[in-house]
Copies of this chain bind each other. A is one copy, B any other.
Amino acid sequence: MTPAATAAGIRELPHPTRAEIRLEGVLHALSDPVRLRIVRDLAADSDALFSCSHFDLPVTKSTTTHHFRVLRESGVIRQAYRGTAKMNGLRRDDLDALFPGLLDALLAAAARQAAAVAGD
């Protein structure tokens, strides 16, 4: 069925506005290893947009969809359809405006921890 979906043929994805982004939500979204990894990959190429299938995640498609949804609903990423693919991009501008320095500190911390674990 998907009631309001087939109406115009355009599935609008609900994104929180910048003002609606909650710090707790962002932290919760980033407290999952899979999602943290997605964000790190996304941040590595801030300009480029990646499709969901680009990521080599250790979970199934439905779980992937779930994680991307959490990231989108918490305001961390932005999603847009392009053909059958769905492109994902970091909302760096919004996050930097709301919480200056937070994203960079977070990414640096994640990179640092990844390096520590690797060299363990």
Contacts and interface: CB of A to CB of B under 8 A. Distances in A.
A105 B106 CA distance: 9
Nearest to A28: B31
B36 A31 contact: no
A100 interface: yes
Say what secondary structure dominates the interface of chain A.
Answer: helix
Given A28-B31, A31-B27, A102 B113 contact: no
A31 B26 CA distance: 8
B112 A105 contact: no
A3 interface: no
A108 interface: yes
A30 B33 contact: no
